[in-house]
């Protein structure tokens, strides 16, 4: 019988050479007259071990990684197909790798385990259990279950999902929409991508349930064009779901309907902002809309619309299958459930860590991340994407919780954690925050459109030693104006990383000024 | 010569527009469809797109120019994007982008003289734990050092680029 070999088709695994490893394994197996059955799973999110190859043995799966083409021959020599562990790349049972064993995987329970486009795999791993229940329940029951779970929007704004759904349910309209925000533009984040590449049916199931809950029969996944692999996998999964009538005019013979389509963005960070996203879906420039009216009331094509992040929708099947309370039992304070943290940047063990809220940042980067990739001391950690604060070591003991982070002027955002070592020039990072806003502002409101341009100029003046104190004051005023006067979070939060540098790493701005002044 | 956009396939563009124009909010799918087959959005296609989507040419132009992804000029044989975002910066993306520009002899938004490579910035490819990241056409590559970048360029161009 052919031996099952798993090689992920996840973006990072591919970026680290998975395709060449596949070719090499097949060639080597052929040369040795051995039959193997290749499965292209998703990633478990232990990215420093990618490509992580797994073998199915009679006593369960065993892993090897990171595998390069040059390792394949020696792996065969060491009988890895029989699960033999006498090889430097042997990792043993994947679930027992401490990084994974210490996590609380609810949303990512299937990631890396199953073939992402196999409906059979999904079904044998508890897939569509939430939908089964949802098809029997009333809309209000579904919304109530989500309210009980305490789930808050995982895109960054942390708005209670159940309340958003209730608003859409309460609207009287012939047409309503479910829009999945898959424009995961924050640097340092890849959790949405992993859901779509490792377990797309979970997202599809979450969207169908959302449709049943609010009375919407059309869904769109607005996916960023920077994710070609996710695009491919989602489309395969959607086709299969239609074939097996999980999508369509008669979901599993229930008489209920839901249609789903992927729409590609076109490289515009601002389209992750929900109203800009809706404009883009309508075929327009991604210009932010003023709120109110809320998208829940006047959304896509003017109709009531649920706009939820991938992770929010991906949490729904678990909540329905196990009950809202089971989900709410995880977490702390008003942050219920789990959040997939994403360890990125200069980190030795980068990857996805799904945990209940409440672990400290230090614990996360030290015990999971195991320090920096460059092996130099850590200096700053940016949490929550390009609009998030840079935290100095004195703040690393803050628990990862929406309210705790808010209290120190920082944000959790989408859970991205980007580590920098001591070679970082924080003045340059502050400048980049403004530069990014110049490139990505939609241009609708003045504080953001003009403020960011002026921000780059002022920081350049400070760094070149031109009246540093007066210009620092100007920078502060500018930040306040952007925060108070911008229409959305793009302009309103761009100052957060800048101010965190001014507050916690002032020497990097001043040091640059001193050096320039001496010239 | 009346056309500012030589060598474009009007029939192919017409097919794309016809197959997508009835979708709700069809403009982005149409633009993607055209760029997928033509490599860019030919200026002469604008009136056709405008008519099909019942918008003005100005509106269509506004959409094309808003999004970084859409090009109005033909790209080189390969589009090479370098991630400029923070997670890649933390692992040496700034060094890589400086190196890449010097190696190719071009800046962002330019194409090499031999028309092989168009260089573009990108803000995040989702490979944030294994940067610096580069995307070549539809493939994402991780841990791209200057040496690895050289190998990549050689693979893409077959014949080495010569600085003249």
At A500 the pLDDT is 97
Is there a contact between B32 and A264 if contact means CB atoms under 8 Å apart? yes
Alpha-carbon gap: A329 to the closest alpha carbon of chain B (Å)? 30
- In this complex, which of A47, A285, A346 lies closest to B91 when CB atoms are compared? A346
Q: Does pLDDT of B1 surpass 60?
A: no
Is there a contact between A186 and B124 if contact means CB atoms under 8 Å apart? yes
How many Å apart are CA A493 and CA A389, to the nearest integer?
Answer: 9
pTM of the model: 0.96
Question: pLDDT tens digits, residue range A24-54?
Answer: 999 999 999 999 999 999 999 999 999 999 9
Q: Does pLDDT of B160 surpass 60?
A: no
At A519 the pLDDT is 38
Is there a contact between A345 and B130 if contact means CB atoms under 8 Å apart? no
At A333 the pLDDT is 81
Degrees to nearest 5, angle at CA A185 with A182 and A187: 135
Is there a contact between A11 and B127 if contact means CB atoms under 8 Å apart? yes
How are beta strands A390-391 and A378-383 bridged, if at all? antiparallel
If DSSP states are collapsed to H, E and C, what string results for A14-40? Answer: HHCCHHHHHHHHHHHHHHCCCCEEEEC
The two tokens of residue B150 are 């050289």
ipTM higher than threshold 0.85:
yes
Alpha-carbon gap: B71 to the closest alpha carbon of chain A (Å)? 11
At A357 the pLDDT is 85
Task: Choose the mutation target among B70, B87, B95, B145 for the interface with A, i.e. most A CBs under 10 Å.
Answer: B87
Q: Is B67 within 8 Å of chain A by CB?
A: yes
Tally of CA atoms within 13 A in the half-sphere of B112 that contains its CB: 24
Alpha-carbon gap: A419 to the closest alpha carbon of chain B (Å)? 7
Identify the residue with better confidence: B160 or B123: B123
At A512 the pLDDT is 54
Indicate left, alpha or beta for A140 from its phi (over 0: left) and psi (-120 to 50: alpha): alpha
Is there a contact between A424 and B90 if contact means CB atoms under 8 Å apart? yes
Is there a contact between A347 and B139 if contact means CB atoms under 8 Å apart? no
Q: Which chain B residue has its CA at the smallest distance from A419's CA? A: B90
3-state SS class at A307: strand
Question: pLDDT tens digits, residue range A225-265?
Answer: 999 999 999 999 999 999 999 999 999 999 999 999 999 99
Q: Is B85 within 8 Å of chain A by CB?
A: yes
Task: Encode chain A (519 residues) as per-residue pLDDT tens digits.
Answer: 799 999 999 999 999 999 999 999 999 999 999 999 999 999 999 999 999 999 999 999 999 999 999 999 999 999 999 999 999 999 999 999 999 999 999 999 999 999 999 999 999 999 999 999 999 999 999 999 999 999 999 887 889 999 999 999 999 999 999 999 999 999 999 999 999 999 999 999 999 999 999 999 999 999 999 999 999 999 999 999 999 999 999 999 999 999 999 999 999 999 999 999 999 999 999 999 999 999 999 999 999 999 999 999 999 999 999 999 999 998 878 888 888 999 999 999 999 999 988 899 999 999 999 999 999 999 999 999 999 999 999 999 999 988 899 999 999 999 999 999 999 999 999 999 999 999 999 999 999 999 999 999 999 999 999 999 999 999 999 999 999 999 999 999 999 999 999 999 999 987 655 554 443
Question: pLDDT tens digits, residue range B129-151?
Answer: 999 999 999 999 999 999 999 99
At B2 the pLDDT is 44
Is there a contact between A11 and B86 if contact means CB atoms under 8 Å apart? no
Tally of CA atoms within 13 A in the half-sphere of A229 that contains its CB: 30
- In this complex, which of A188, A266, A347 lies closest to B67 when CB atoms are compared? A266
At B6 the pLDDT is 65
Residues 6-45 of B with CB under 8 A from A: 24-29, 31-32
How many Å apart are CA B159 and CA A440, to the nearest integer?
Answer: 36
Q: Which chain A residue has its CA at the smallest distance from B142's CA? A: A15
**Chain A residue numbers touching B140 (CB-CB < 8 A):** 11, 14-15, 228-229
**Chain B residue numbers touching A50 (CB-CB < 8 A):** 130
A226: exposed, middle or buried (Cβ count in 10 Å: 0-12, 13-18, 19+): buried
- In this complex, which of A263, A343, A344 lies closest to B28 when CB atoms are compared? A263
**Chain B residue numbers touching A228 (CB-CB < 8 A):** 138, 140
- In this complex, which of B24, B68, B143 lies closest to A267 when CB atoms are compared? B68
Alpha-carbon gap: A3 to the closest alpha carbon of chain B (Å)? 29
The two tokens of residue A325 are 């309370």
If DSSP states are collapsed to H, E and C, what string results for A186-201? Answer: CCCCCHHHHHHHHCHH
Q: How confident is the model at residue B158 (pLDDT cuts 50, 70, 90)?
A: confident
> How many interface pairs between A and B have CB atoms less than 8 angstroms apart?
158
The two tokens of residue A18 are 């998975």
- In this complex, which of A15, A225, A418 lies closest to B133 when CB atoms are compared? A15
Distances in Å between the Cα of A41 and the Cα atoms of A44, A343, A396 are 9, 21, 35
Task: Name the packing angle between helices A200-214 and A310-322 (round to 10°).
Answer: 80
Is there a contact between A187 and B87 if contact means CB atoms under 8 Å apart? yes
3-state SS class at A259: strand
Q: Phi, psi at residue B127, to the nearest 5°? A: -110, 45
**Chain A residue numbers touching B124 (CB-CB < 8 A):** 184-187, 189, 226
Residues paired with B118 in a beta bridge: B79, B111
């Amino acid at each position: 019988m052919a031996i099952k070999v798993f090689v992920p088709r996840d973006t990072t695994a591919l970026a680290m050479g998975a395709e060449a490893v596949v070719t090499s394994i097949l060639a080597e197996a052929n040369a040795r007259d051995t039959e193997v059955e290749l499965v292209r799973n998703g990633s478990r999110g232990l990215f420093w071990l990618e490509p992580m190859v797994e073998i199915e043995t009679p006593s369960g799966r065993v892993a090897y990684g990171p595998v390069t083409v040059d390792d394949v021959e020696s792996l065969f020599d060491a009988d890895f197909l029989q699960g033999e562990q006498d090889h430097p790349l042997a990792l043993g049972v994947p679930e027992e790798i401490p990084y994974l064993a210490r996590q609380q995987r609810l949303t990512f329970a299937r990631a890396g385990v199953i073939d992402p486009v196999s409906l059979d795999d999904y079904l044998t791993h508890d897939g569509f259990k939430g939908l089964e229940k949802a098809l029997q329940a009333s809309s209000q029951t579904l919304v109530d279950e989500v309210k009980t779970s305490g789930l808050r929007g995982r895109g960054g704004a942390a708005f209670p999902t159940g309340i958003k759904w209730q608003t859409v349910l309460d609207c009287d309209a012939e047409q309503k929409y479910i829009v999945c925000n898959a424009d995961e533009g924050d640097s340092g984040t890849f959790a949405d991508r992993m859901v779509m590449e490792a377990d797309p049916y979970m997202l599809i199931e979450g969207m169908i349930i959302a449709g049943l809950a609010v009375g919407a029969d059309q869904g769109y996944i607005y996916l960023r064009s920077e994710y070609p692999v996710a695009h491919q996998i989602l489309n395969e999964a959607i086709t299969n779901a239609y074939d097996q009538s999980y999508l369509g005019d008669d979901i599993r013979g229930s008489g209920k309907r839901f249609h789903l389509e992927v729409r590609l963005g076109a490289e515009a960070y601002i389209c992750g902002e929900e109203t800009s996203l809706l404009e883009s879906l309508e075929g327009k420039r991604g210009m932010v809309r003023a709120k109110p009216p809320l998208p829940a009331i006047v959304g896509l094509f003017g109709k009531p619309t649920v706009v939820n992040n991938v992770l929010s929708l991906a949490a729904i099947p678990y909540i329905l299958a196990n009950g809202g309370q089971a989900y709410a039992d995880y977490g702390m304070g008003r942050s219920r459930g789990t959040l997939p943290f994403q360890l990125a940047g200069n980190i030795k063990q980068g990857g996805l860590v799904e945990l209940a809220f409440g672990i400290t940042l230090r614990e996360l980067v030290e015990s999971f991340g195991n320090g920096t990739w460059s092996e130099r001391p850590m200096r700053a950690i940016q949490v929550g994407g390009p609009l998030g604060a840079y935290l100095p070591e004195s703040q690393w003991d803050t628990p990862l919780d929406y309210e705790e982070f808010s209290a120190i002027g920082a944000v959790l955002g989408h859970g991205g954690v980007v580590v920098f070592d001591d070679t970082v020039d924080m003045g340059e990072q502050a400048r980049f925050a403004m530069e990014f806003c110049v490139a990505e502002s939609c241009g609708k409101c003045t504080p953001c459109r003009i403020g960011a341009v002026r921000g780059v100029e002022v920081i350049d003046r400070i760094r070149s030693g031109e009246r540093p104190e007066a210009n620092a004051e100007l920078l502060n005023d500018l930040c306040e104006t952007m925060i108070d006067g911008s229409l959305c979070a793009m302009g309103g939060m761009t100052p957060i990383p800048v101010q965190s540098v001014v507050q916690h790493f002032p020497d990097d701005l001043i040091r640059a000024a001193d050096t320039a002044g001496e010239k | 010569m009346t056309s500012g956009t030589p060598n474009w396939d009007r029939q192919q563009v017409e097919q794309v527009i016809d197959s997508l124009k009835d979708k709700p909010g069809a403009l982005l799918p149409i633009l993607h469809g055209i760029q997928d087959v033509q490599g860019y959005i030919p200026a002469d296609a604008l009136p056709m797109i405008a008519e099909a989507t019942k918008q003005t040419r100005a509106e269509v132009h506004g959409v094309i120019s808003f999004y970084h992804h859409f090009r109005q000029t033909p790209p080189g044989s390969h589009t090479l994007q370098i991630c400029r975002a923070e997670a890649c910066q933390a692992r040496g993306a700034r060094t890589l982008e400086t190196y890449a520009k010097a190696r190719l002899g071009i800046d962002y938004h330019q194409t090499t003289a031999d028309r092989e490579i168009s260089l573009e910035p990108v803000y995040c490819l989702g490979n944030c734990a294994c940067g610096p990241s580069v995307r070549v056409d539809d493939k994402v590559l991780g841990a791209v050092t200057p040496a690895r970048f050289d190998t990549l360029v050689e693979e893409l161009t077959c014949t080495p680029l010569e600085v003249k």
